[in-house]
Amino acid sequence: MVKKPRIGWRSSVNAPSLAAAIAVALAAGLIACSPAATTANGTRSATAVSLSAQASGIAAIVRKAIRTYHLRAVIVRVTKGNQDVITQAFGPSLTGQPATPAMHFRNGAVAFAYVATLLMEYVDEHKVNLNDTINRWVPTLPESNKVTLKMLANQTSGYPDFETDPAWTAAFNADPFQIFTYQQRVNYAFRRPVQFKPGTNWSYAHTNFMILGHILSMIGKKPLATLLQQKVIGPMGLTSTTSSVTSTIPEPVLHSYSSERKVALHVPAKVTFYEEATYWNTEWGTPDGANETTNIYDMTKTAAAVGTGKLLSRSSYHAMTDPNLLGFGHAQASCAPSCFTQIPAYNYGLGVVRAGSWILQNPLVSGYSATEAYLPSQKIAIAVVTTFEPAAFNSQGVEPNASDPIFRQIGAYMAPADAPPTGK
């Protein structure tokens, strides 16, 4: 039975070096002959020439990635400060319908960054402390007198991931359009014992943020969707990010396709299996009220707002985004493969991932892969979303998170002295 790719899970595919990325752009002849804006007297602006060259280099990286990872569509946006370096779509959404930057798609674990921001706002308002144990709100959960809000937000609670429970996987594969309630997911999660003592290891589990979102709605005394809109999404200036309990996506829609149910449906390994996944319900992977869709413009806005701590005090910003878990965690049979040592290329903050100096989230869900990332020192925001061709999926119906290596290549191209690390 195929396990679903985890929202926010990172592919280990290594990105090419900066030199290789630049070589691709030069070989394509794009940088040398790219168009540049002109000033009123017809002279090229040095800034415009530079931005145009960067846009051509990024486009070359994307075009190569489309071939390498067998991608159907890619939408990319890169900004530096207030400058738009590139906003461009490649490939089709539907057959005969080109993808466009205005199209909406599912943002998966990007919502975890919003939930963590809401948590830190409550910390700043002195409503809670990160070290508060969760028995104050959910006393019936295992180890609730030891698990803290911080442990939920940084994935160190030890709680099992309901998404890895075979019964949950079978239920999802039987009907990917269904809605799993909070209590159903709690029941799936705790059919198995706690994986490790709270705070002693790290393991990615959707269960943590599902519970955290539930608690935050209790603290705010409103539905989580309302709290996120009022305190996070609205103040961040996100105008195209909306939540829904159902599978609704606002028009225009970037359509997605998947092979992940191949094994569950007993399709022979040598037979190509590929189905539309656009309207599968993805609320299962997020807290109730945080099942969201967005577009590429809101993704770069998110990267900048989270990456600068726009809504938070300095202390809360650092608590959320610093590499505090670097070197923590270890492999363990009870939580394999989700538990591992946090490394420079991937270490977890509170609802966000660190890759070197970059702050990001990189969901993979229902035939979409997406990454939003920010480099504070240079004010560079990168957003990438991809969909896949049939050849992207292996014989088990599993695909790579292609947006992640694309982001790392673009990051290396834009900031060679502070490139996102790619190694183990």
What's the confidence (pLDDT) of residue 389?
A: 98
Distance CA 219, CA 227 (A): 10
What's the confidence (pLDDT) of residue 48?
A: 73
Query: For residue 169, what are the domain limits?
Result: 18-418
Distance CA 174, CA 168 (A): 10
Q: Where do we find the tokens 């292609």?
A: 402
Domain assignment present for 70: yes
Closest Cα partner for 77 from 359, 377, 378, 414?
414
Answer yes or no: are the C-beta atoms of 90 and 103 closer than 8 Å.
no
Answer yes or no: are the C-beta atoms of 39 and 294 closer than 8 Å.
no
Indicate the DSSP class of residue 334: G
What's the confidence (pLDDT) of residue 44?
A: 57
Domain assignment present for 5: no
Domain assignment present for 12: no
Domain assignment present for 10: no
- Total structural domains within the chain: 1
What's the confidence (pLDDT) of residue 241?
A: 98
- What the block records as the tokens of 296 is 């590429």
Distance CA 111, CA 392 (A): 26
What's the confidence (pLDDT) of residue 18?
A: 31
Domain assignment present for 340: yes
CA dihedral (302, 255, 398, 8) in degrees, to 10, reads 10
Domain assignment present for 408: yes
Closest Cα partner for 164 from 195, 134, 140?
195
Distance CA 351, CA 110 (A): 8
What's the confidence (pLDDT) of residue 191?
A: 97
Q: What is the pTM of this model?
A: 0.90
Distance CA 362, CA 59 (A): 20
Domain assignment present for 11: no
Question: Please, is 185 exposed, middle or buried when counting C-beta atoms within 10 Å of its C-beta (0-12, 13-18, 19+)?
Answer: buried
What's the confidence (pLDDT) of residue 417?
A: 98
Which residues of the chain have a pLDDT value below 50?
A: 1-41
Domain assignment present for 132: yes
What's the confidence (pLDDT) of residue 10?
A: 33
State whether residue 380 is helix, strand or coil: strand
CATH number at residue 310: 3.40.710.10
Answer yes or no: are the C-beta atoms of 198 and 158 closer than 8 Å.
yes
